[in-house]
Amino acid sequence: MLFFRFLFFSLVTSLGVVAVRGDAVAPQTGEKPKPAATAEPGITFDWVHVDGPYVAMTFDDGPSAKLTPKLLDLLAAHHIEATFFLIGQNVAENPDIAAREVREGHEIANHSWSHPNLAKMSDGGVRDQLHKTEDAIRSASGNRPTLLRPPYGSITARQKKWINQEFGYKIVLWDVDPLDWRRPGAKVVCNRIIKMARAGSIILAHDIHPGTIEAMPCVLNQLEAKGFKFVTVSELIAMQTPLPPKPSPSPKSIPPKSTSPSPTPHD
């Protein structure tokens, strides 16, 4: 897997893009570093600085006819509102579930039409993926999405900018990834999320894997027991407070780079 990751990064960086939680990755494109403008403030979020124990649960790749209704029942029982990053094709197949998500207070957002790697696509191809999905979401639910999560977290800095300008989308990644797509079992998924979650976290999961749905009672109970409160991603972003100024590092002790959880080529 490590090798695969390396390969993936080599691939995307050699293509001149910064992909997969690119905001946290040093640019390797030969571009001149832009002073303090790496994170496209206000456009891209993988975590939000908030005052208070708020987190956002996010579920990708649905709706699933079989699993999503079970998850919605559980969320309703906990009075928790989550964010669903929907695949357009699946919305077209299950428009009633997308409508139920909105009816029950959840946020629904764009995760492309067919889950391609957007960073490798032409602008026209990306535009088509996003438009078709937005149309499917609007006709199913009446709501216009305002967030995009690129499949695999893979998107270039240039794409973020034009997509934000053209569609008005914020780009949403994550800081908690239990790697549930590898199907490690409900217990492992639960433990990973509980271990990594912190105030302002955007927690990634998928409502297309049975083990993920099985893990959710444990996840929700334990996060609640720790005092976390659940909001949608747009609500979390609206709560953002400024980061306290960082103390300037002395020349002798430059801190090592952040060791946030490694990005993966899956979401």
Cα–Cα distance, 7 to 1 (Å, whole number): 10
Task: Tell whether omega for the bond before 53 is within 30 degrees of 0, i.e. cis.
Answer: no
Minimum CB distance to Zn ion, residue 241 (Å): 29
Residue of 60, 68, 55 lying closest to 96 (CA atoms): 68
Query: Closer to Zn ion at the Cβ: 53 or 116?
Result: 116
Minimum CB distance to Zn ion, residue 112 (Å): 8
Sites for Zn ion among residues 56-75 (CB under 5 A): 60-61
Residue of 199, 155, 156 lying closest to 176 (CA atoms): 199
Binding mask 208-247 for Zn ion (x = CB under 5 A): ----------------------------------------
Catalytic residue among 106, 115, 206, 209: 206
Minimum CB distance to Zn ion, residue 111 (Å): 6
Minimum CB distance to Zn ion, residue 153 (Å): 9
Active site residue 206: yes
Minimum CB distance to Zn ion, residue 206 (Å): 7
Write down the residue that tokens 């571009």 correspond to.
Answer: 31
Catalytic residue among 60, 177, 180, 207: 60
Question: If binding is defined by CB under 5 A, does position 177 make contact with Zn ion?
Answer: no
Query: Closer to Zn ion at the Cβ: 110 or 156?
Result: 110
**Cβ neighbours of 63 (radius 10 Å):** 29
C-alpha torsion sign, points 35, 40, 41, 44:
negative
Residue of 145, 92, 155, 153 lying closest to 118 (CA atoms): 155
Q: Tokens standing for 77?
A: 């029982």
Closest residue to Zn ion, based on beta-carbon distance:
60
Q: Backbone phi, then psi, for 195, in 5-degree steps? A: -65, -40
Binding segment for Zn ion (CB under 5 A), chosen from 13-21, 53-61, 225-233, 254-262, is 53-61
Query: Closer to Zn ion at the Cβ: 61 or 101?
Result: 61
Query: Closer to Zn ion at the Cβ: 44 or 50?
Result: 44
Query: Closer to Zn ion at the Cβ: 8 or 228?
Result: 8
Cα–Cα distance, 9 to 23 (Å, whole number): 14
Binding segment for Zn ion (CB under 5 A), chosen from 4-12, 148-156, 211-219, 237-245, is 148-156
Where residue 262 falls (left for φ over 0; alpha for ψ -120 to 50; beta otherwise) is beta
Residue of 71, 65, 69, 47 lying closest to 219 (CA atoms): 71
Active site residue 60: yes
Binding segment for Zn ion (CB under 5 A), chosen from 52-60, 64-72, 129-137, 226-234, is 52-60
Minimum CB distance to Zn ion, residue 62 (Å): 10
Q: Backbone phi, then psi, for 15, in 5-degree steps? A: -80, 0
Please identify every residue annotated as catalytic.
60, 206
Contacting positions for Zn ion (CB under 5 A): 60-61, 151, 267
